[in-house]
């Protein structure tokens, strides 16, 4: 009898070891399932943005797998052939019951995160990780505003091609292109987030302050009240801004200046305050220095704006004439100053993609993301950065997720 129990224990131990490979295989399979779901959802939302449809996000925060083994009904083995001893037959069975959670990402925190402009640290991260500056400028910034003229140049595919539906109107294509080219040519940018304090009217006395209705706005954080000599108080409107600055060589060192200003009179003052300080008080009555006419304010996109930008890009590219070989045209990103190295920024191709490609079904038609390709790779002079852009946007969407923004749901179980 002890031998039989020892054999039983050995059999159970071997069965437990045999579960190691299935567990590892299922963990990999679940990871591929998450990958497929996330990529499909993101590309579908880009297509929704192209068609001016609402965006919807879901998440699979947990996937659980259950593997179990059990003993079947024991039975008595009778001698067969030349076997001389009876034996105890044991049946071992296994079961696999995976389950997963599906959550709709429609909470206030998540939606607000999609609508807020990208954080300064996120911009620094991608510019410091070797991504092409031209690609990031096209993707992450929505507009460029001249602080002197107030002209807003929209970084929009419709404006790049000087289309009538450009948000800034006709005639801005050259200015937009020149601004993007100049930003890239100046080298690696440095970003400084600061608050602009814009005075509202003249300083007020205590009685005027109480009667003006300013105090409730200040309590809500919509205004800033700064004491002035003589018991007066100056109300300021606050406006968050981000300055894009560049290192400019000067007298054996360098200073940080917005938009690459090189005027010696300005360089002698040292780094511009918008590149180094947290708060800047604007003085409207002061005449701007002539060199500041070249300083531009760059507006940062939110994650939702990036997705809508990609949708607009797809729509604009669909109207372009096809290439001589019959393939779809795309709007390229210049990867070298002389424009000898170029790649499609982002495109979706109709039809089923090759094995491993991200393929989605939208409005009854399949679409796929072309594989990443550097310029000159294979027999294609034009590269393709669609997959690289998709990976970047996927990271940005994931940054907006948190455990508090993912509601818990009843698990969906698959039994097989």
Instruction: Tell me what pLDDT residue 19 has.
Output: 54
Residue range 326-351, pLDDT digits in tens: 788 999 998 887 888 999 999 999 99
Q: What percent of the chain has pLDDT above 90?
A: 24
What is the average pLDDT across 59-85? 54
What does the alpha-carbon distance between residue 109 and residue 32 come to, in Å, rounded to a whole number?
A: 28
Q: Where do the domains of the chain lie? A: 2-106, 147-300, 303-405
Predicted confidence (pLDDT) at residue 385 exceeds the cutoff of 90: yes
Q: What percent of the chain has pLDDT above 70?
A: 73
Predicted confidence (pLDDT) at residue 78 exceeds the cutoff of 50: no
Structure tokens at 42: 């993101």
Q: 55-69, 159-173, 259-273, 300-314 — which one is most confidently predicted on average?
A: 300-314
Residue range 81-96, pLDDT digits in tens: 444 444 545 455 555 5
Predicted confidence (pLDDT) at residue 104 exceeds the cutoff of 60: yes
What does the alpha-carbon distance between residue 292 and residue 311 come to, in Å, rounded to a whole number?
A: 35
Q: 22-26, 56-60, 208-212, 310-314 — which one is most confidently predicted on average?
A: 310-314
Structure tokens at 343: 């790649």
Residue range 185-195, pLDDT digits in tens: 777 788 888 88
Predicted confidence (pLDDT) at residue 244 exceeds the cutoff of 70: yes
Average pLDDT, the chain: 78
What is the average pLDDT across 235-261? 79
Predicted confidence (pLDDT) at residue 158 exceeds the cutoff of 70: yes
What is the average pLDDT across 119-146? 87
pTM of the model as a whole: 0.74
Predicted confidence (pLDDT) at residue 407 exceeds the cutoff of 60: no
Predicted confidence (pLDDT) at residue 136 exceeds the cutoff of 80: yes
């Amino acid at each position: 009898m002890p031998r039989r129990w020892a054999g039983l224990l050995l059999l159970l131990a071997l069965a437990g070891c045999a579960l190691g490979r299935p567990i590892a295989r299922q963990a990999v399979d679940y990871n591929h399932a998450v990958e497929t779901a996330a990529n499909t959802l993101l590309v579908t939302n880009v297509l929704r943005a192209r068609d001016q449809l609402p965006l919807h996000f879901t998440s699979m925060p947990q996937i659980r797998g259950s593997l179990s083994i059990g003993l079947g009904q024991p039975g008595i083995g009778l001698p067969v052939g030349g076997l001389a001893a009876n034996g105890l037959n044991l049946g071992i069975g296994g079961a696999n019951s995976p389950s997963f959670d599906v959550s709709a990402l429609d909470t206030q925190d998540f939606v607000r995160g999609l609508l807020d402009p990208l954080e300064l640290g996120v911009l620094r991260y991608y510019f410091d990780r070797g991504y092409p500056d031209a690609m990031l400028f096209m993707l992450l910034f929505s507009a460029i505003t001249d602080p002197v003229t107030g002209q807003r140049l929209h970084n929009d595919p419709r404006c790049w091609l000087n289309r009538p539906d450009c948000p800034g109107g006709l005639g801005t294509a050259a200015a937009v292109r020149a601004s993007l080219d100049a930003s890239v040519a100046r080298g690696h940018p440095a970003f400084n987030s600061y608050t602009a304090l814009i005075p509202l009217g003249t300083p007020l006395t205590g009685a005027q302050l109480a009667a003006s209705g300013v105090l409730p706005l200040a309590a809500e954080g919509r205004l800033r009240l700064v004491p002035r000599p003589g018991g007066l108080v100056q109300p300021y409107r606050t406006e968050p801004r981000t300055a894009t600055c560049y290192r400019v060589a000067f007298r054996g060192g360098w200073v940080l200046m917005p938009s690459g200003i090189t005027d010696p009179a300005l360089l002698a003052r040292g780094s511009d305050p918008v590149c180094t300080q947290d708060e800047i008080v604007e003085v409207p009555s002061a005449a701007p220095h002539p060199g500041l006419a070249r300083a531009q304010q760059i507006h940062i996109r939110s994650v939702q704006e990036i997705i809508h930008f990609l949708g607009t890009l797809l729509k604009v590219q669909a109207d372009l004439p096809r290439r001589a070989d019959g393939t779809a045209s795309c709007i390229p990103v210049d990867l070298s100053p002389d424009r000898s190295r170029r790649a499609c920024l982002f495109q979706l191709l109709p039809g089923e993609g090759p094995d491993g490609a991200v393929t989605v079904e939208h409005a009854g038609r399949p679409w796929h993301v072309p594989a990443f390709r550097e310029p000159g790779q294979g027999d294609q002079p034009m590269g393709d950065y669609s997959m690289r852009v998709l990976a970047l946007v996927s990271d940005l969407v994931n940054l907006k997720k948190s455990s508090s923004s993912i509601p818990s749901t009843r698990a969906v179980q698959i039994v097989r």
